[in-house]
Amino acid sequence: MIDPALARREGEWLRVPLGEKRPAGLEDGTHPHDARRRLIAEGVFPEKWLNRLFSTGGIRVEHGALWLKAFPAYDWTGHPFLSGGGEPAAAEALYEDDWCLVLLKPVGMPVHPAHPGMGGTLDEAAVRHVLRAGDPLPVRHIHRLDRDTSGPVLYAKNDLAQMRLDEAMRLKRIERRYVAIVHGVPRPRSGTIDAPIGRDRHHASRRRVTPGGDRAVTHYETVKASGGLSLVRVRLETGRTHQIRVHFSHIGHPLLGDTLYGAPADPFLSHQALHGESLVFPHPWTGEEITVAAPRPRWFDDALRRAGL
């Protein structure tokens, strides 16, 4: 019934041609209530989203097409992100379309505010990005990175995208790959760390492997080793706070520069040597697999050269 490839955005609306053999209940002039019921029965869209559209007059059937108000503008006027002082946050866009946005988070920038009104975050950069483009959509992050980890972060740009990407996260269909520099050489050189992670009751900022923690699974491969350090490539199956850092510390190979988890202080690096290398996710409208690569930052390449990696 719905061919995603034929749909087109027209301002705040998504126009979805229905073709000549449209199902009963979606003729031109169909009452929005009946159209909503038919769409719910078809199971094409989340019922919660359709109900939200219906409540705001966002469903129409006319001119041979289904019209859905999928891209309503958000009123960012007076938002704390935009009213604070200091340098406005900015980040490079690695991928963008009407549905989603991937920003490259630099080291030192948190994804979200630690307290209301806090600026200088990646969330602020996302808001400023859509406002500069003249398209004030309600951007919201789907996953997060530690403050001192760089890499790609995925944002939804409307409610349907958020619902579908949140579901993809729950079903582990969003793949996050990282590169890290660790002390020593992991044995075996490739494998899986399956160890539950919970809070460290002795240190508010730390997490630790503990039997009562949440399940955490990290897959890794050692790419190269030299001079007591190794370059590893990591894929997360779960997304616990500090997961990569905790797991590698747990097996005796803390990340370079990660003094919070047992690494010695490094004179050239004041944070962990961890970078998000790529992000793979199903597109929230088409379902197509999207792969977004994030270039390595200069500090990571410098650390590799110093280590002979």
| Section 206-217 average pLDDT | 95
Residue with the bigger pLDDT between 6 and 83: it is 6
Q: Which residue has the higher pLDDT, 274 or 83?
A: 274
Supply the mean pLDDT for the chain. 93
**CATH class of this structure's domain 175-307:** alpha beta
Burial of residue 298, with CB atoms counted within 10 A of its CB: 0-12 exposed, 13-18 middle, 19 or more buried: exposed
Residue 87 CB-half CA count within 13 A: 5
Domain boundaries, the chain: 4-68, 80-170, 175-307
Instruction: Read off the pLDDT of each residue in 231-255 and give the average, rounded to a whole number.
Output: 96
Extended strands (E) in 41-135 = 59-62, 65-68, 92-96, 100-105
Among 38-52, 117-131, 254-268, the range scoring the smallest mean pLDDT is 117-131
- What is the token pair recorded at 177? 């790959």
Average pLDDT over residues 168-173: 94
Pairing verdict, β 65-68 and 59-62: antiparallel
* pLDDT category of residue 115 using cuts at 50, 70 and 90: low
Q: Which fold has domain 80-170?
A: Pseudouridine synthase (3.30.2350)
Instruction: Give yes or no: 3 in active site.
Output: no
Task: Give the active site residue among 34, 123, 146, 166.
Answer: 146
Per-residue pLDDT, 57: 96
pTM, to two decimals: 0.94
Predicted pLDDT at 193: 97
Cβ contact 195:175 at 8 Å: no
φ and ψ at residue 77, rounded to 5 degrees: -55, 130
Mean pLDDT of 38-56: 93
Residues above pLDDT 70, as percent of the chain: 96
Q: pLDDT tens across 278-307, in order?
A: 999 999 999 999 999 999 999 999 999 999
The 10s digit of each residue's pLDDT in 78-87 is: 887 776 656 7
